[in-house]
Structure 1
Amino acid sequence: MNHDSMQNRVTITTEVTARTAEAKARAREATEARDCLTSSLEQLKVDRDWMRYHGIGHIVGTILDAPENATAVEELKLRAREAGFKAGYNRCISDMNLLFQGKFTD
């Protein structure tokens, strides 16, 4: 084997070793990135589940319990009750009118 051939093999071996080290480094970085994304995904799932089972109720409760909203909700309930009473009275009056006009036989 001559010196040039030996030098070529050393150069090739050095290049292959360098490329292998680079590939291992990229593989390690990809594994770390995958692990990081998996961890982030798991945390998002936990956060989503907490929001679904606990957070949304807390948010709605806070909104409904706010003084400005409590007043508005109370006023809405009163108006709905009044509208229901009016509808009931109107129905009663129309039934009584039919009764007085003799259209009920019972």
Structure 2
Amino acid sequence: MSVYAVTYVYAADSGTARDRARPAHRDHLQELRTEGAVLVSGPLPATDGEPDGALIVMSAPSAAEAIALLDADPFRRTGLVAEVSVREWVPVIGGFAA
């Protein structure tokens, strides 16, 4: 298994809808954590130059599979995520290092 950093950029003006969908979103991520796919996740707050989003660090056989595991995320299913990117990450120091 490889480790992947998945980032979300949230859709503009989606804060209220995300608040409503957040319990189901977190339940989905927790299920993936229980299965060993999600290692850690959390929000990326907006800054002056970047919109708000999230970082989800995942263990998966491929980048495509990491994204596929997140297809059922309520945030994605309901159009609250404007952009998704995935990139392999190779941790060498710390809790995720092999």
Q: Computing the radius of gyration over CA atoms, which structure comes out larger, 1 or 2? A: 1
TM category (shorter chain) comes to under 0.3
More helix per residue: 1 or 2? Answer: 1
**TM-score, length basis structure 2:** 0.24
Q: TM (normalized to structure 1)?
A: 0.22
